Amino acid sequence: MPAGKVDRSAEPPGGVFATVPQSPPGCPAAPVVFPAHPASSPPPSRTVAKRAPARARDVRRCISVSAWVGKVSKTCSGVSLPAVGMSRVIRYRVVTRLSRWKRVPWNNVSNMATLKDVAQRTGLGLGTVSRALSGHPNVRPETRRKVQEAARELGYSSNGLARALRRNRSYSVGLILPDLENEFYTTAASVVQRLLRDEGYRLLVSCNNNSSEVDAELLRSLMESRVDGIVHAPCTPEGADLVRAADPRVPVVEYARRSSARGVDSVIGDDERGAAEVVRHLVDLGHRRIAMVAGPPELSTTADRVRGFHDACARFGLPKRGCPVLHGPSYDARWGEAATRQILDRHPGVTAIFISGSRGALGALKAVRDRHVSVPRDLSLVGFLGPELLDVANPPLTRYVLPLEEMSTMTARLLLDRIQHPREQAAAEPNVMRFEGKLMVRESTAPPREHELPRSGGS
Amino acid sequence: MPAGKVDRSAEPPGGVFATVPQSPPGCPAAPVVFPAHPASSPPPSRTVAKRAPARARDVRRCISVSAWVGKVSKTCSGVSLPAVGMSRVIRYRVVTRLSRWKRVPWNNVSNMATLKDVAQRTGLGLGTVSRALSGHPNVRPETRRKVQEAARELGYSSNGLARALRRNRSYSVGLILPDLENEFYTTAASVVQRLLRDEGYRLLVSCNNNSSEVDAELLRSLMESRVDGIVHAPCTPEGADLVRAADPRVPVVEYARRSSARGVDSVIGDDERGAAEVVRHLVDLGHRRIAMVAGPPELSTTADRVRGFHDACARFGLPKRGCPVLHGPSYDARWGEAATRQILDRHPGVTAIFISGSRGALGALKAVRDRHVSVPRDLSLVGFLGPELLDVANPPLTRYVLPLEEMSTMTARLLLDRIQHPREQAAAEPNVMRFEGKLMVRESTAPPREHELPRSGGS
DNA sequence: CTGAAAGCGCTAACAA
DNA sequence: TTGTTAGCGCTTTCAG
């Protein structure tokens, strides 16, 4: 991509932003869309007007922004705010790589206090000050107090970069997940962050979107940051091999998925058994024609779930062609919806659908609703790894769940162990920890229908 | 907390983990609980057995783990795995602070290739190699190629710490959110991560749980990391004042909430108007007694929403005591549930509840279901900022939503601007960007009931 | 217990 | 265009 060019390709037709002067009283409301209350009803502008002086201390300029176009909010990439309420324009620049050269002026000396400043202030030597502040035992308590006070007065804050460089230990850990909005992974982010923070580590979080290129680049970036360890949800069979090649001493723990990277621990769910449990549950109810909505075939989770599904179908003697498996490009809601439609269209004999992804069930619910298919009367639906939220869905969804908290805890614990005991750990062979899940039976499964499905009436 | 002590206080009664030997065939399934299928049905152990040899390359030891106790999975803090399948014990250590002194042996020289290695290999000087690799224009193309090749051969990876130290620019940005599992914030994390990554920045993510102590410590930690900028969801009126004091040049953008910290930009939703819109919608339907479930009063969002609610109630002449506002300790589902129960018990005249948090609506749905209160026949329910998921809830929830993607995009854009144009930015006064939301009317609101509420039958 | 000094790996000024 | 060199801020060794 050429640098310096302004990319406006993503700009939606017609400016998305409307800007409204913020000055205290009487600004007519910006064009918001209220489906239930068309423009006719009077905007509550008095309320808005009254608010402004409420926070006396807040002298910042206020800008109201409307980002709604029609019914849906559109992403504002490449959009510039008109100059009305803003003196300058939000610039949009094309990717400037870290490696791209850029003149950095030599005025870049930080104005933050350094150890030297503290040393001068106290009249002590650098070494002593360093020892005093980093808790080294051989320092006179009085000296330490003096140093600490001086540090506080100067607003001294240790430069972590320098420390990390010198000690060859960054106290930071990388986390690469496929998706940062999916509760299956945010639980991991949350738990891992908390546990690592408790041990004094910082977390570098990033998202590979299941793209192998992005994944490799993120791993490289983490290695550049000299992280002490990595939690990785691999999206390729190679996984973090790249890391082992660069520095075999950096421990890696795989989360949720496996790769064939050597020397890495894995914490995964028992996807295969889960799929089998789902089939068993449906067979127990009397179903014989079960469709499975699966994700990208290159993921280890997909492979495991599909294997579990096939094995179980075979074991229970289900008709092979009555039980189609649909592979999709992802595990998101859109695919869940598309796949469900597809099944309703092409496999009318199917009486139950097993959606093997975390968000897919949402899409499936939407699809069946659009088609006026009643769950579980017309069709049974089973989810996988779905969030608790699905308990309040309509109907509450039967699904296979994994103990995400425990899996995340184990992941963090394993990584910390490897980081903090490199000696013992180097020798210890890596583990695969496979966590059992649980089938939670709710109201979306029932014995198969004995009537015809309503012929596709939806759009 | 005393260091070195093993904390087992969180250990659940009776070992949580059951370990199962992983060797190929015939391991009886570990004690999983399947509510629908009591222990009677045969465990699908054959499937499990068949799996092991499937991945020939995977020679890692496999350990199956069951973390289920009764119906709910319990967190496994402090639990040690029995020695059965694992040679060593997952250790649990009490917080060891970064500042706590710890002997670091002087064998800590990295074995990764450095610029010097590349220089020696190519016979060039350090400067040239550095320039060649970091894209400096004044390098002969041939030299550059040679250097790049040598770097590749040596598996050279630039040491970001040293680079950051030298350039006084870490190319990393901090993100502090109150909650990493709430879609309101994970959207921000996801979008901000992506946009920053595109510009070559790494993201340090952490979570303050709305605790001011944690918040301050996280800010300090980020300053130690010498981040180039910070996205902050403040949980105190001071906000990031600490940062401005330490180094006023580090830009801060507040997300979702405001504080009175000086010199920071804020990107927030129009909470006040949102609350007013909700009231207006309910009043239009005929409601006169509306309860509001609010969060911690110290948050700016709570204050704004409550102000909007009160103003609107006054404007529409609703009875002051008929419209209670319940302040809670958080915005989570548990509080939403408790508050809803409380309203049903103590304010039987209320015909509509406005739950002003993101997850609270889930709890409310649970509470009304337990009490056999029908929505919207007996009671109208309105959510705030709720996730799309609520569209498949039972019933789909009327709620006020904000354009999270756009808000996050704006947040990242603002921060990048401040980082990349410190000159112009230092002068530019900070902005408060207030984003308009939208009331999405679904099926959880209807005219008020004219009958009595079923007297509390639930537990 | 404290001070002096070396050097982690890199960049940028300066000299060639 | 390239080589040399100083030092970013810190930790740690070694001598006092």
Measure CA to C1' and name the residue nearest C5. A127
Task: Find the range with the poorest average confidence among A298-312, B43-57, B107-121, B418-432.
Answer: B43-57
Which residues between 334 and 353 in chain A have a beta carbon less than 8 angstroms from any beta carbon of chain B?
none
Q: Read off the pLDDT band of B59 (50, 70, 90).
A: low
Measured from the Cβ of residue A83, the count of other Cβ atoms closer than 10 Å reads 10
**pLDDT over threshold 60, residue B58:** no
Quick: pLDDT tens for A117-149. 999 999 999 999 999 999 888 899 999 999 999
| Residue A278 or residue A76, greater confidence | A278
Quick: pLDDT tens for B106-158. 445 678 999 999 999 999 999 999 999 998 899 999 999 999 999 999 999 99
Measured from the Cβ of residue B41, the count of other Cβ atoms closer than 10 Å reads 11
The answer to whether B32 contacts A436, with C-beta atoms less than 8 Å apart, is yes
Q: What integer pLDDT is reported at residue B296 of this predicted model?
A: 95
Average pLDDT estimate for B197-224: 96
Which residues in range 119-148 of chain A are in contact with strand D, contact meaning CB within 7 A of any of its atoms?
Answer: 126-127, 130-131, 133-134
State percent of chain B over pLDDT 70: 76
The set of strand C positions with any atom below 7 Å of a protein CB reads 1-14
Q: What integer pLDDT is reported at residue A165 of this predicted model?
A: 95
Q: How far is CA B281 from CA A26, B161, B285, B430, in A?
A: 22, 55, 6, 34
Quick: pLDDT tens for A176-221. 999 999 889 999 999 999 999 999 999 999 999 999 999 999 999 9
State percent of chain A over pLDDT 70: 76
Spell out which residues of chain B touch residue A76, defining contact as CB-CB under 8 Å.
405-406, 409-410
- Residue A195 has which token pair? 């546990």
Measure CA to C1' and name the residue nearest D13. B106
Q: What integer pLDDT is reported at residue B17 of this predicted model?
A: 29
Which residues between 151 and 190 in chain B have a beta carbon less than 8 angstroms from any beta carbon of chain A?
155, 157-162, 164-165, 167-172, 179-181, 183, 186-187, 189-190
Chains A and B form CB pairs within 8 A to the count of 411
CA of A124, closest CA in chain B: separation in Å?
20
What values do phi and psi take at A258, rounded to 5? -110, 155
Q: Read off the pLDDT band of B288 (50, 70, 90).
A: very high
Q: Under 8 Å CB-to-CB from B7, ≥6 apart: which residues? A: B1, B78, B92, B94
Quick: pLDDT tens for A233-258. 999 999 999 999 999 999 999 999 99
Bridge partners for A355 per DSSP: A293
Quick: pLDDT tens for B165-199. 999 999 999 999 999 998 899 999 999 999 999 99
Looking up tokens 């921060």, which residue turns up? B415
Q: Under 8 Å CB-to-CB from A400, ≥6 apart: which residues? A: A274, A275, A277, A278, A382, A383, A384, A385, A437, A438, A439, A440
State percent of chain B over pLDDT 90: 65
Spell out which residues of chain B touch residue A197, defining contact as CB-CB under 8 Å.
206, 218
End-to-end CA separation in angstroms for chain B: 39
Q: What integer pLDDT is reported at residue B272 of this predicted model?
A: 96
**pLDDT over threshold 80, residue A71:** no
Q: What integer pLDDT is reported at residue A7 of this predicted model?
A: 31
Average pLDDT, chain A: 79
The answer to whether A65 contacts B433, with C-beta atoms less than 8 Å apart, is yes
Asked if the C-beta of A389 comes within 8 angstroms of chain B's C-beta atoms, the answer is yes
Q: What integer pLDDT is reported at residue A55 of this predicted model?
A: 36
Average pLDDT estimate for B22-28: 30
Q: Read off the pLDDT band of B403 (50, 70, 90).
A: very high
- Residue A64 has which token pair? 């109201």
The answer to whether B44 contacts A277, with C-beta atoms less than 8 Å apart, is yes
Quick: pLDDT tens for B354-393. 999 888 999 999 999 999 999 999 999 999 998 888 888 8
Q: Read off the pLDDT band of B69 (50, 70, 90).
A: low
Task: Find the range with the poorest average confidence among A302-306, A392-396, B299-303.
Answer: A392-396
Asked if the C-beta of B86 comes within 8 angstroms of chain A's C-beta atoms, the answer is yes
Q: What integer pLDDT is reported at residue B15 of this predicted model?
A: 27
Average pLDDT, chain B: 79
Strand D at less than 7 A from CB of B194 = no
**pLDDT over threshold 50, residue A18:** no
**pLDDT over threshold 80, residue A418:** yes
Burial of B322 (0-12, 13-18, 19+ CB in 10 A): middle
Strand D at less than 7 A from CB of B135 = no
Go through the domains of chain B in sequence order and give each one's CATH number. Answer: 15-108 (no CATH), 115-158 (1.10.260.40), 171-263+407-436 (3.40.50.2300), 271-402 (3.40.50.2300)
Asked if the C-beta of A99 comes within 8 angstroms of chain B's C-beta atoms, the answer is yes
| Residue A286 or residue A26, greater confidence | A286
| Interatomic CA distance for residues A166 and A78, integer angstroms | 42
| Interatomic CA distance for residues A459 and B191, integer angstroms | 32
Q: What integer pLDDT is reported at residue B75 of this predicted model?
A: 37
Asked if the C-beta of A149 comes within 8 angstroms of chain B's C-beta atoms, the answer is no
Write the secondary structure of A293-352 as one string of H (helix), E (strand) and C (coil).
EECCCCCHHHHHHHHHHHHHHHHCCCCHHHCCEEECCCCCHHHHHHHHHHHHHHCCCCCE
| Interatomic CA distance for residues B266 and B231, integer angstroms | 9
Q: Read off the pLDDT band of B38 (50, 70, 90).
A: very low
Q: What integer pLDDT is reported at residue B97 of this predicted model?
A: 28
**pLDDT over threshold 50, residue B333:** yes
**pLDDT over threshold 50, residue B325:** yes
Q: Under 8 Å CB-to-CB from B310, ≥6 apart: which residues? A: B325
Q: Show which residues sit with Cβ under 7 A of nucleic chain C.
A: A 104-106, 123-128, 131-132, 137-140, 143, 162, 165-166, 168; B 109-110, 112, 114-116, 126-127, 130-131, 133-134, 158-159, 162-163, 165-167
Task: Find the range with the poorest average confidence among A49-58, A91-100, A162-171.
Answer: A91-100
Which residues between 34 and 63 in chain A have a beta carbon less than 8 angstroms from any beta carbon of chain B?
34-37, 41, 44, 46-48, 50-51, 54-55, 57-58, 60-63
Q: Read off the pLDDT band of A429 (50, 70, 90).
A: confident
Q: What integer pLDDT is reported at residue A427 of this predicted model?
A: 64
Q: What integer pLDDT is reported at residue B158 of this predicted model?
A: 96
The set of strand D positions with any atom below 7 Å of a protein CB reads 1-14
Strand D at less than 7 A from CB of B143 = yes
CA of B246, closest CA in chain A: separation in Å?
6
Average pLDDT estimate for B291-316: 96
Looking up tokens 């990390």, which residue turns up? A164
Q: What integer pLDDT is reported at residue B392 of this predicted model?
A: 87
The DSSP secondary-structure symbol of A39 reads T
Quick: pLDDT tens for A327-352. 999 999 999 999 999 999 999 999 99
**The amino acid at B414:** L
**The amino acid at A380:** S
| Residue B401 or residue A19, greater confidence | B401
**pLDDT over threshold 80, residue A413:** yes
